[in-house]
Amino acid sequence: MVPPVLEVDDLNTTYQRRVVLDAIDLSVDGPALVAIVGPNGAGKSTFLKSILGLVPCTGSVRVLGQPIDSVRRRIGYVPQRESVDWDFPVSVGDVALMGTYGRLGWFRRPGAAERRVAQECLSRVGLDGLEDRQIGRLSGGQQQRTFLARALAQQADVYFMDEPMAGVDASTQAVIFDLLDELRDAGKTVFVVHHDLRTVASRFDRVVMLNRRLIAAGPMAEVFTTENLQQTYDSQFVTLDEAIACSATTR
């Protein structure tokens, strides 16, 4: 039997004695595109970081049926864009190449094969010709695509992406959605923290609704309901349409 892609059991995360994630239980089967939604400060980023072992937490997390440390080579990560210094002296190509470092291991330098992979990944996100550009001299959408190319270069089976579509233009959004479809069709599972409720139902297979605790999780049609949205967003909205319209204006 194939184990679930993600299995979370009684996950609790606390920052300086403040509970941010409260007793999360979750099981997700793949391949699938999974949207993670919730208001600002709901703990969505913290949820990804807890799964990936980036913040201290209690409870058990299994990815592809194993503890995270045994499957790191099969995991891809797109952090929130604000998490790095874009003045850092690296080029777009350098960043894409970083995706291959995990496979390379200690001391080995990336060679021709790694450069080819990085180049292909840059092409897939439409960044051909920009590989020598310093990353600070990119638009927000190009920066997000650079991060995506790096994650693709990890050649992973499960991806975790933190708001890859925050602050991007419509053309970048289209590129990213096509890429997500390609990944799912290739049998991968992608978890995407996503703020735009308009596109959740149409572009994702499953949804995880989070607000410090797990409100609901499952197939889109069953779970993405007005009632669950009201609970997730603290009843700020009365109808599904209203919630969706509001998510379009608050970003």
| Residues engaged in binding ligand ADP (CB under 6 A) | 15-16, 20, 38, 40-46
Nearer to another protein, 110 or 164 (CB): 110
Q: Interface mask (CB under 8 A) for another protein, residues 76-115, using x and -?
A: -x-x---xxx--xxxx--xx--x--xx-x-xxxxx-----
Q: Does 53 bind another protein (CB under 8 A)?
A: yes
CB of 162 to Mg ion, least distance (A): 6
**Secondary structure of 179-231 in HEC code, one letter for each residue:** HHHHHHHCCCEEEEECCCHHHHHHHCCEEEEEECEEEEEEEHHHHCCHHHHHH
Name the nearest CA neighbour of 67 among 128, 135, 8.
8
Q: Could you give the 3-state DSSP secondary structure of residue 35?
A: strand
Nearer to Mg ion, 188 or 195 (CB): 195
> Which residues in the 148-177 window bind another protein by CB under 8 A?
150, 154
Q: Could you give the 3-state DSSP secondary structure of residue 125?
A: coil
Nearer to another protein, 154 or 232 (CB): 154
CB of 107 to another protein, least distance (A): 5
Name the nearest CA neighbour of 56 among 68, 66, 46, 45.
46
Binding partner of 77, given ligand ADP, Mg ion, another protein, none, CB within 5-8 angstroms per partner class: another protein
> Which residues in the 38-77 window bind Mg ion by CB under 5 A?
45
**Rounded alpha-carbon distances, angstroms, from residue 69 to 39, 60, 75:** 30, 12, 10
Residues lying near Mg ion in the complex (CB under 5 A) are found at 45
